[in-house]
Each structure stands twice: as C-alpha cells, then as structure tokens.
A and B are shown apart, each in its own frame.
Chain A
Amino acid sequence: MTAVAFTLWRRSLNEVLRVRGALLPATVAPLVFMLGISGQFQRLVGLDGFPTDSYLSWIVPLSCLQGAGFAGAATGSNLARDIEQGWFDRLLVAPVPRPLLVIGPILGAVTRSLVPATVVLVVGLAVGAELTGGVPGLIALYAAAAGFCAVAALWGTFLAVTFRTQQAGPLMQQGVFLAVFLSTAYTPEVLLRGWLADVAHLNPVTHVLEMARQATVVGIEPSLAHTLPGVAALVGLATFFGALAMAGLRRMGR
C-alpha cells in the first residue's frame, strides 16, 4: 500500500524536473510580495506594539507560508488536470484505497514546498532579516510551512474532486491568498483595526503564522506557548479539509 503512495509521490516530483519553471510562480510570487511589502510598509515597525524593529523579519515567515501554500494549492490544479485528461479515472479502478491516491501527490507538494520556503528564507536573511529563533525557530518555521502546504493541498484536492476542472485553479490559489492575508499578515493583532481585527482573531492561520514567526521575530521567542496553537490549528484545518476531500473522492465514479 505504501508503495502506491510512494510511486505517486515520485510522479509528482517528476513534474518539477520535467516541466520547466514549474516552481517558478510559487517561488517568485512570495519573493516579490516579501520584498515589495517590506519596502512599502517597513516604517510600521515604528508603531507602539510592534514586536520587532525589522519589518522584513516580520514578513519573511508570511512569505514562506505563502510560497508553501501556493505549492500545495498546485496539487489541486494538477489533480484537476489528471481528472480532465482521464488519467485519474484509470487510478480509480486500481484496487487500492482511494485516500492513497491523493496522499502521494500531497507528500510531493510538501516536498516541493521546501524550495519556495527555503529560497524566500535565504533571500530574506540575505537582505536583512534576522534568524532570532535559532534552530528551534527554524524547525518551527519549516513545520508550519510543511503543515500549511498540506492543508492547502487538501483544500486544492477538495476543489479538484468537486469541480473536476482546471478552471478552479484560481479559486485554489485565492483561497490560500485569503487565508494568509486575513490574519496578522502585515501587523500584529494589537495594531489591526475594524473587521480585520475580528477576522484575524478567529482565523486559525494567525496561530500558524505565529508558530512560523518564532524563527525571525525577536518578540516571539521559540516556546510551546507559541507552537502548540499553531500545531492545533494545522491539525484542525487538515482534518476539516481532509474530510471534505475524502468525501468528494468517495463520490467520484459513482
């Protein structure tokens, strides 16, 4: 059984090698946003309540999550393409449990997400972000990125098995975009105003971001208090979107 997941994992990684520039959008978009947003809003660190004096350090984890999320959402686009081209129908008649058919591609996405997360982190550190959390912070950042990628992949899978068309691709990406930006993306919760303050407070991605920010934000030191809510949020999101994706998968071919 694990051989099936392993083979599909390898197939999804092959795509990176065979399709030129397959990882480019997922890597370049967060980089541009990281450099652009930090250049635009760097003076915000002068406001009372901002936990760090480096806006770049505040934004790097956000961009890592964004890159990982886009890599995850691409799983849905690829699955929709496989459905449209009939390849997935052939997999469905195989005598294997259906969840295994999506576990391989999701693991592939998590593996691929290491590329944008690492490129963003390295560029961020090169242009002035600080690695204040050391190794524990780094582990938290990568765990948050990998977990968020898996959640985005499950969201993409759910949309792919529901709409069964590549035209749902923008919806997959925009879901990730919205989830990330309706959180403490630009400023900490104390500086948010109006409706966004309420939404960010309820948005589980806020906790995932806090977990990731242990790596670079001096006011968010590595600790269980900053890690466990993020882990719980990731588990909750993965369970929710996993259940939706599996329900959609079970409906296929009936």
Chain B
Amino acid sequence: MNAGREWRVVVALGRRATTVQFRRAQLLMPTFVLPLMLLAVIASGTSAAQGLRGFPDVASYLTFVVPGTIVQGTILAGLTAGIALASDIEFGFFDRLLAAPVHRTSLVLGRLWGTFVLALLQSSFFLLVALAFGANYPGGVAGAVATVALAAITAVGMGGISSAIALRTGSLSLLQSLFPFMFVLLFTAPAFFPRELLAPVLEDVSVFNPLTYVVEGVRGLLAGDADLGDPATGYAAAVGLAVATTGLATVALKERLRRT
C-alpha cells in the first residue's frame, strides 16, 4: 500500500464529502437547529432540577446541559455520513469509486473526513450560541478547543456506525429512518442529568455506553473541573469508538464487495 497515495485519496474524498454537504445546506439544517432547539427547551424547562439533592454545584445549568447538545450534534453529524453514503450507493457514484485501484479503508475514511469537518463546525457553533445565551466556560478557550476536537472524533465514531449500516443495506430510506434508533445512545448516557440521578436502569446501562464518558469528558473540559468528568477517559472512549466503527464500516464494505 502506498501511504502517500492513499492519503491523497482520503483528502480528495473528504473534500468532496465536505463540499457536497454544504452545497445542500438545507439538508444540514436539522443537524444545526434541532440540538439547539432541544437545548433551549431543556435549559429553560428543567433548570429547576438544580434544586434537587445530589445535583452537582454548578454555576450555570445551561453550561451543564451543553455537553448533551454537543453529543446530540455528533449523532446527527454521524447520521449525515450514512445518509450521504447511502445516497452515493443508490445513485451509482459509489460503484465508480469501487472501480478505482485504492484501499477500501480509504473510501470509508474519506467519507468520515467530511463528518469530522462538519462536527468541528457544528460543535463550535453550539458553543458560541450557548455562550451568547449565557453559558460560561470556566475551562477557558483550551477547554472549548479540546471539546470541539473530542466532539469531532466522536462524530467519526457515529459516522462509522451509520456508514456500516449504509454499506450493509444500501438503503437511503432506511438511513433516513435511523434517527430515533441512534438517539437511544444519547438517552442512555447522562446527557442532560448527572449519572447518579438517572433512572436506576439507565444508570446501569450508561456504564456500557461510550457516549457516557464523552459527555462527562466534555462537561469536565468546559467546566475546567475533573470532578464533573475525566477528559482523558472521554478521549479514550471517543478514539476507541471511532477505530471500532471505522473497522466495522470497512468490514461491511468488503462484505458488500463479496456480495455484488
């Protein structure tokens, strides 16, 4: 394998994925608007929760729930990758890529590059909007930058899952209906409430959900307080998820090639 050539393939496909995404910006609207809508409603609708016994002593409830919004964004950005890939498969573009003499993993990584860029922009946007509406980040600029990077890696992990499903099924309509199923991952993590205050079943399940460690990591980074979440564990979970699901998508691609 020629590493330099494969790198150029990943960059070229990544650039295409990014361009195509923003060329049809109206289709990206839900990934930017929906999490902010939910943030606005949750921040106002459940802020009385700060009065509950066991709720961490935080300066701003809005800041506490922003990590949930960031993780929600990574799920939607990841889903966008699967939808775009299924669209490429249905309309024949992906078949043309398969005829090229390049490594199969590069085709998957190229697609996920677009997701990475989308998540960088999206999570920066969320942090800025929340800041404008009163959130504060004691973790400073470094914490915010580390949050954006963590979100982008997590989005790659989410994109790996949806890409694997797209490659396995090739169905655009299935991917478009996947949104509620992916949200199971959000709700089984302490996205909007501390882990200790979740329903007991959910608290038990959340231990096995990598997004639990990501959301707590983001919380720790933004608050500059490792008691709220360990950023290193968050990064480890995000990288592990990204590697595992990219591998899963590559296997799905190879299986697809065997079938067709």
Contact = CB atoms under 8 A, between A and B. Distances in A.
Q: Do A and B come from one complex?
A: yes
Interface of B: 26, 29-30, 33-34, 37-38, 40-42, 44-49, 51-54, 177, 179-181, 183-184, 186-188, 190-193, 197-199, 201-202
Nearest to A173: B30
Per DSSP, are chain A's interface residues mostly helix, strand or loop, or mixed? helix
A182 B47 CA distance: 15
B18 to A, nearest CB: 21
A113 to B, nearest CB: 17
A35 B187 contact: yes
A43 B37 contact: no
A21 B193 contact: no
B177 A43 contact: no
Contact of A193 (B47, B188, B198): B47
Contact of B201 (A21, A39, A194, A197): A39
25 contacts: A28-B180, A32-B181, A32-B183, A32-B187, A33-B180, A33-B183, A33-B187, A36-B186, A40-B202, A41-B46, A41-B192, A43-B52, A43-B54, A170-B30, A181-B38, A181-B45, A186-B41, A186-B42, A186-B45, A191-B48, A192-B45, A193-B48, A194-B44, A194-B47, A195-B44
Contacts of A196: 40-41, 44-45
A119 interface: no
Contacts of A36: 183-184, 186-188
Contacts, number: 100
B179 A41 contact: no
A181 B52 CA distance: 22
A185 B37 CA distance: 13
A41 B30 contact: no
A36 B71 CA distance: 15
B105 to A, nearest CB: 32
A25 B173 CA distance: 11
Contact of B199 (A24, A28, A38): A38
Given A40-B192, A42-B199, 14 more contacts: A29-B179, A36-B183, A36-B188, A39-B201, A39-B202, A42-B198, A44-B46, A46-B52, A174-B30, A186-B42, A186-B46, A187-B45, A194-B44, A196-B40
Contacts of A43: 49, 52, 54, 193, 197
Contacts of A123: none
Contacts of A194: 44, 47
Interface residues of A, number: 37
A39 B199 contact: yes
A178 interface: yes
Interface string A150-194: 000000000000000001001000100110011001110001111
Interface in A204-249: none
A240 to B, nearest CB: 22
A31 B179 CA distance: 13
A195 B43 CA distance: 11
Contacts of A39: 187-188, 198-199, 201-202
B191 A193 contact: no
B44 A193 contact: yes
Contacts of B54: 43
A47 B55 CA distance: 12
A181 B41 contact: yes
A47 B50 CA distance: 10
Contacts of B41: 181-182, 185-186, 196
A37 interface: yes
B148 to A, nearest CB: 24
Contacts of A24: 177
Contacts of A197: 44
A194 B190 CA distance: 24
A47 B52 contact: yes
A90 to B, nearest CB: 25
A91 to B, nearest CB: 25
Contacts of B42: 186
Contacts of B40: 196
Contact of B29 (A31, A170, A195): A170
A43 B48 CA distance: 11
Contact of A187 (B46, B179, B190, B199): B46
Nearest to B184: A32
A41 B193 contact: yes
A47 B51 contact: yes
B10 to A, nearest CB: 31
B195 to A, nearest CB: 11
Given A32-B184, A167-B26, A174 B33 contact: yes
A37 B192 CA distance: 9
